[in-house]
Structure 1
Amino acid sequence: MDIAVLDENPTRVLMLERALGRGAHRCTRFRHGTALIDAMRHRSFDALLLDRDNHGTDVRELVRIVRRSFGHGVPLMVLSDACEEADVVGCLRDGADACLRKPVRDRELVARVAALARRAAAPFRQAGKLEAESAGGTCRLPGDDLPPLIYGRYRFDIGERRAWVRDCCVTLTPKEFALALLLFRHLGALVTRRLMADQVWRGAVREDARTIDSHLSRVRGKLALWPHNGVALHRMRGLGWRLDPV
């Protein structure tokens, strides 16, 4: 996982990097909340780790900004010296997924990060097997080792590059399919225009290109990304798009 760490103390950051490195995680350090928000507009992180006692940054306000701007798709944990119930409850109400008291124990930190990652991935059933057919046999998936991505009424067969809505197959172009996967894999989180340009068009178009919007419009229409299907696609002006669960 690519984890953004907000902490002004270089010694603490080195300790966090060492601990998380044991879990095969990578850390990107930020000293100030403004730098973190700016980075999130141009790239995506798998989790956020924020030190509550960072001078010059109101971390609780930062949590609220992250949730308003980027949604709840990215797991967010707050580290704090405080142990008062009111402080912990306040952070959780602001949008944090977990609070961990310092000093942090290495193995507990790695386990908690893993637990947050599992929680964030819970809406997506990485189905390794289909239900047994009437004959009672086991059905293999198309693409074998590439299981489908399933969320609610939506199913994406990655190996066959096919999509279904309410069990109806929908025809998508390769770029439309890639865009749809990007949105569903970041459900509830902002997907920046730069990320779309880099991952779908491999940098062949500018992040402000209108072709991104036209493709998204077609994806919304073809997949019926509307509340009656449990999702809603929202444009975040100047930033990108966010697919929210309803």
Structure 2
Amino acid sequence: MRVAIADDDQEVISQVEAAIRGAGHECVTYRNGKDVLNAIKRETFDVVLLDWSMPGATGIEVLGWAAENIESPPPFIMLTSRSSKGDIIRGLETGACDYVIKPESSAVILARIEAAARRGKAQVTRERFKEYGIYKIDSLENTFLVNGEEIKLTSKEFQLGALFFENMNRPLSRGYLFSQVWGTSEDIATRTLDMHISRVRSKLSLKPENGFVIQTVFGFGYRMDTYLEVD
């Protein structure tokens, strides 16, 4: 899981970051609302924590922008000392999926983050076999079948293919793909990712007539688009 924290209080950032990393998740931190807003434009996060009052842009302004400009925004959690009922209502109505009032324990904050991530991926089934049109994924054997025929993929190619099918129609940034498949958000080599995606496209015959296409999202990353309705 990849989490972004935006808060101008370094003590809060350090507390929450330690809890997230301690649970084995990746964390990126920001001290300015404008910085996290720019990051959301170019990166993919599973959950975003927002303070209300920050320089550059408030948490509410970031929420409002995301609601208007991102087709499938990540789950946002307001983490703020503002505790009035009016503020809570405004935060939730603007787009936050949860509202946590500071100070709060690391354990509770981590539980809220993980719950938000689970809700964000609730549509992803956990069965061994997942079917998408002519494609069938065996998550135990780490194999793809196309029209019943097993396709030989490397480990990284399988992880990439499965990640795209599990995040249908969701833009995935290059940094997110690196972190989920290679275990790092560093750009190990841009052509490495492009080469692997090219191979996945070719080996799985991802094209409109087969119902699915991996599209390039220029300046951001990639997105799996659907051309049929999936049960």
Same fold (TM over 0.5): yes
Residue 47 of structure 1 corresponds to: 47
Q: Are 2:77 and 2:99, in contact at CA under 8 Å, matched by a contact in 1?
A: yes
Give, in angstroms, the shift of residue 210 of structure 1. Answer: 10
Supply the distance in 2 between the matched residues of 1:244 and 1:98 (Cα, whole angstroms).
Answer: 29
SS at match of 1:205: helix
Supply the distance in 1 between the matched residues of 2:159 and 2:107 (Cα, whole angstroms).
Answer: 36
- Is residue 2:57 matched to residue 1:57? yes
Give unpaired runs (5+ residues) of structure 1: 128-146, 227-232
Residue 6 of structure 2 corresponds to: 6
Query: What are the equivalent positions in structure 2 for 1:1-246 lying under 5 Å apart?
Result: 1-40=1-40, 43-67=43-67, 68-69=69-70, 71-72=72-73, 74-127=74-127, 147-148=128-129, 150=130, 155-158=136-139, 159-163=141-145, 168-169=147-148, 174=153, 178-187=159-168, 189-193=170-174, 199=181, 203=189, 205=191, 218-221=205-208, 223-225=210-212, 236-243=217-224
SS at match of 1:29: strand
SS at match of 1:16: helix
What letter corresponds to residue 219 of structure 1 in structure 2?
L
Question: Is the alpha carbon distance of 1:35 and 1:214 closer, same or farther for their aligned partners in structure 2, counting shifts above 3 Å?
Answer: farther
Question: Is the alpha carbon distance of 1:211 and 1:196 closer, same or farther for their aligned partners in structure 2, counting shifts above 3 Å?
Answer: same
Question: Is the alpha carbon distance of 1:205 and 1:33 closer, same or farther for their aligned partners in structure 2, counting shifts above 3 Å?
Answer: same
Supply the distance in 1 between the matched residues of 2:126 and 2:111 (Cα, whole angstroms).
Answer: 21
Give, in angstroms, the shift of residue 64 of structure 1. Answer: 3.5
Supply the distance in 2 between the matched residues of 1:177 and 1:205 (Cα, whole angstroms).
Answer: 18
Give, in angstroms, the shift of residue 78 of structure 1. Answer: 1.0
1:55-90: CA deviations, max 9, x gaps?
A: 332222212334533623x33211122233343233
Give unpaired runs (5+ residues) of structure 2: 183-187
Supply the distance in 2 between the matched residues of 1:93 and 1:215 (Cα, whole angstroms).
Answer: 40
Give, in angstroms, the shift of residue 182 of structure 1. Answer: 2.5
Give, in angstroms, the shift of residue 212 of structure 1. Answer: 5.5
Supply the distance in 1 between the matched residues of 2:215 and 2:87 (Cα, whole angstroms).
Answer: 32
1:181-218: CA deviations, max 9, x gaps?
A: 22233345421256558959x736277x6996897595
Supply the distance in 2 between the matched residues of 1:50 and 1:192 (Cα, whole angstroms).
Answer: 20
Q: Are 1:50 and 1:78, in contact at CA under 8 Å, matched by a contact in 2?
A: yes
Give, in angstroms, the shift of residue 22 of structure 1. Answer: 4.7
SS at match of 1:83: coil
Supply the distance in 2 between the matched residues of 1:64 and 1:28 (Cα, whole angstroms).
Answer: 21
Residue 135 of structure 1 corresponds to: none
TM-score (norm 1): 0.65
Supply the distance in 1 between the matched residues of 2:101 and 2:39 (Cα, whole angstroms).
Answer: 26
Q: How many residue pairs are counted as aligned between the two chains?
A: 214
Which range moved further: 185-194 or 211-220?
A: 211-220
Give, in angstroms, the shift of residue 120 of structure 1. Answer: 2.2
What letter corresponds to residue 144 of structure 2 in structure 1?
R
Supply the distance in 2 between the matched residues of 1:32 and 1:244 (Cα, whole angstroms).
Answer: 33
1:34-61: CA deviations, max 9, x gaps?
A: 3334444555433211111223322222
Larger radius of gyration: 1
What letter corresponds to residue 211 of structure 2 in structure 1?
A
